[in-house]
Amino acid sequence: MNDALVKEELLPKEQLLWLGQPDTGTNFSQADILVAPLSVLLAVMAFFWAASVLGVGALGDHTKPVSVPLGIFAVLVALLSFYLMVGRFLYKTWKKGRTYYAVTTKRVLVVTDGRRKSVRGQDLAQLSFIEKQQGAGKRGSLIFGSLPFGLAYYANSGLEIFGAGGTVAFFDLLDVEGVHQMIQKRKEKLG
């Protein structure tokens, strides 16, 4: 674990109390109940449509020239459907391996060291709401603050493009209750 990456983000007189990472083995989110089957359906339709437009195989009309703009659009739709079906899971796994969660004496932090470093934080003293989502066993997520349902729904799905990418949250924790209790105790000390 790269604690130096997080320590360089600490404020003066701020100390690190806990450091962790999301579980890279957990890839499905609440949104996948709807998105996964629809993405498979979209992918099948998009690939058949792209093959038809491009004149590939038995589906295409080989007597007409391919419309370049329509062909480009068909390929883009097929690529988008591939991302929805498979790519977003690869992206989530890649991102989780580069994401660090921290609880300090003053804040909760999410530091991601991807193509560029991203740091999101929330002051514990100003934190009014923590949503705890607990799944099987001790696994779960903590969302700091609240988002409208439509945005929160996509927050940990690989579809953060819909607006929940800036959420300060600890997703896919192995011991969500332990981290939640530690944050609550620290919040009480800050009073």
Q: Note the pLDDT of residue 31.
A: 72
DSSP string, 155-175: TTTT-GGGTTTT--EEEEESS
Could you tell me which residue, 158 or 93, shows the higher pLDDT?
93
Class of 3-24+98-190 in CATH: mainly beta
Helix (H) or strand (E) holding 25: none
Q: Note the pLDDT of residue 36.
A: 83
Short-list 142, 128, 129, 136, CA closest to 176: 142
Q: Is the pLDDT of residue 178 over 80?
A: yes
Q: Is the pLDDT of residue 165 over 60?
A: no
Residues of the chain with CATH 2.30.29.30: 3-24+98-190
Q: Note the pLDDT of residue 123.
A: 92
Angle between helices 32-54 and 68-82 (to 10 degrees): 150
53 pLDDT band (50/70/90 cuts)? confident
Q: Note the pLDDT of residue 153.
A: 63
What contacts 184, CB < 8 A, 6 or more positions away? 130
Q: How far is CA 136 from CA 28, 59, 157, in A?
A: 13, 46, 18
Q: Note the pLDDT of residue 33.
A: 80
Q: How far is CA 7 from CA 3, 74, 93, 106, 137, in A?
A: 6, 47, 24, 13, 30
186 pLDDT band (50/70/90 cuts)? very high
Residue 86, Cβ density class (10 Å: 0-12 exposed, 13-18 middle, ≥19 buried): middle
SS3 136: coil
Average the pLDDT over 59-65 and give the result.
64
Q: Note the pLDDT of residue 157.
A: 72
Q: Is the pLDDT of residue 2 over 80?
A: no
Cα(67)–Cα(79) distance, integer angstroms: 18
β-partners of residue 18 are: 103
For residue 86, the 8-state DSSP code is I
DSSP string, 43-78: HHHHHHHHHHHHT-GGGS-TTS---HHHHHHHHHHH
Q: Is the pLDDT of residue 62 over 70?
A: no
Could you tell me which residue, 34 or 60, shows the higher pLDDT?
34
